[in-house]
Structure 1
Amino acid sequence: MKAKLMLALLLSLTLAGCSANNASKSDDQSSQATSSSQSASSPSSSTSSQSTTTTDVTKVKVSAATAIKRYQQVFPNSDITGLSLEKQLGDYQYEVEGVDDSKEYSLNLNAKTATVTDKKSEALDTDEANGVERKAEALNLDHLISVSKAVQNARSKAKGQAATEISLEREAGQTYWDIQFENQGQETSVKVNAQSGKVLAVEQDD
């Protein structure tokens, strides 16, 4: 009789142990499934965040006209010799450069907030002073077409590519927009007359 009782007790303990092990395995599997689900959702959140980043110069809030006006307020009585709009540390920034008879200037402007982030002035070299550099490099800002208009006129030369950078330059007495397009390693540079909007040149780099 005692032997039967001992056998029954051993069987009960064995069954209880198996049940505990199964429950533990079930909890571990549930925990692993939850962790995997959370990991899988993370890339989606990251992708969503990245997709909101501006990568086209036509999408910035501050216009080139505003950047030019801001420069003229900070450095009056000087002529603008260059303007560029490109990404720096993840944000689009304007850099406007200018000159008068004795100094050259530069001003950096956040293209989202219009905040001046940097400004500099430096004396011109002797051979550039007294109006020499000013006459040779000053941009023609009369009837200047907008960044959006320049990109619109150039986009057909760079189909499927985003306009990632743009600069206002002068060559042979002519002021023009130089627009950089890019997509998946393919790059195209298009020069557009800053007054008429006519496409002047196209360069492609595969």
Structure 2
Amino acid sequence: MKKIILSVGTLSLGLLLAACGQNPIQPSSQTPEQSTQVENSQTTDAMNATKDTDDAEDSTPISTNQTSQQKPSVSVTEAIEVFQKEFPDTDITSIDLDTSFGNFFYKIEGVNDLKEYEIKVDAATKGIREREEDDLDADEKNGVKRQEEKLDLSKLLTVDEVTKIAIEQTQGGQATDWDLDREGAVTYWEVDVENGKQEATVKIHAQTGEVLEVELDD
């Protein structure tokens, strides 16, 4: 009995040693210092991945339906003064503020009893770009056209003020063109606004700011 037991024990021990021999435990080839460096590297990579995600979220553009609005540095009042200095004793019949290759300019027309005049005023320097004058037709002379078309320039709303009103009416966008004109006894601003693919024209009373008309272009 003892031999059998010893034989079984010896066999079991032999099997155990054989199994250990087939799957030997591999000792780590890394020193404690190298293990610490690996852990630090993994931590740094994780932190960088988190930072990249945060940066990507911060760089997401804020959605808005209103674009940045450029403005002329010369006011409409200053442009009127340039015209009146160039052509004394005249009445202004129309003013257009427009852009050409990103530069603003005023086109101003006016008349006296015999002639009609037109100039373009640089909206950055107040310099005169172009200057024209022509004789009025016979039926326009002697104050006829002057009386019918002269603008009311008293208490005139500024370009900034009518731009704000127009953009509120179109719920965003950017104003691209401003015309000061007259219909009947009313002097009004007409402001063109682009909002995405939609264009609109807003007609505004030049003294009171009342919105007279909004026309949408498909």
Quick check: TM above 0.5? yes
What is the alpha-carbon distance in structure 2 between the residues aligned to residue 93 and residue 184 of structure 1? Answer: 24
What is the alpha-carbon distance in structure 1 between the residues aligned to residue 197 and residue 150 of structure 2? Answer: 34
Q: Which segments of 5 or more consecutive residues in structure 2 lack a partner in the other structure?
A: 1-67
TM-score scaled by length of structure 2: 0.67
What is the alpha-carbon distance in structure 1 between the residues aligned to residue 69 and residue 119 of structure 2? Answer: 22
Give the residue type in structure 1 aligned to 2:165. Answer: N
What does the per-residue CA deviation read over 1:109-161, in whole Å, with 9 as the maximum and x for residues that have no partner?
11111111011110000011111100000000011111111112222111221
Give the residue type in structure 1 aligned to 2:95. Answer: L
Match in the other structure for 2:164: 152
SS at match of 2:113: coil
Match in the other structure for 1:129: 141
Q: CA RMSD in A?
A: 1.5
Match in the other structure for 2:153: 141
Match in the other structure for 1:3: none
Find the partner of 2:201 among 185, 189, 199. Answer: 189
Alignment of 1:170 with 2:182, yes or no, is: yes
Give the residue type in structure 1 aligned to 2:129. Answer: T
SS at match of 1:127: helix
SS at match of 2:140: coil
Find the partner of 1:70 among 82, 88, 93. Answer: 82
What is the alpha-carbon distance in structure 1 between the residues aligned to residue 197 and residue 151 of structure 2? Answer: 32
Preserved contact between residue 192 and residue 201 of structure 2 (Cα < 8 Å): yes
Preserved contact between residue 81 and residue 98 of structure 1 (Cα < 8 Å): yes
SS at match of 1:135: helix
Aligned residues: 152
Shift of 1:56: 3.9
Preserved contact between residue 170 and residue 195 of structure 2 (Cα < 8 Å): no
Match in the other structure for 2:210: 198
What does the per-residue CA deviation read over 1:30-87, in whole Å, with 9 as the maximum and x for residues that have no partner?
xxxxxxxxxxxxxxxxxxxxxxxxx846x11010010001100000100000000011
Consecutive aligned runs of 4 or more in structure 1 exceeding 3 Å deviation: none
Give the residue type in structure 1 aligned to 2:75. Answer: S
What is the alpha-carbon distance in structure 2 between the residues aligned to residue 158 and residue 203 of structure 1? Answer: 10
> Of the two, which has the highest radius of gyration?
2
What is the alpha-carbon distance in structure 2 between the residues aligned to residue 172 and residue 178 of structure 1? Answer: 15
Shift of 1:92: 1.3
Match in the other structure for 2:94: 82
Find the partner of 1:179 among 178, 181, 191. Answer: 191
Find the partner of 2:109 among 97, 101, 112. Answer: 97
TM-score scaled by length of structure 1: 0.71
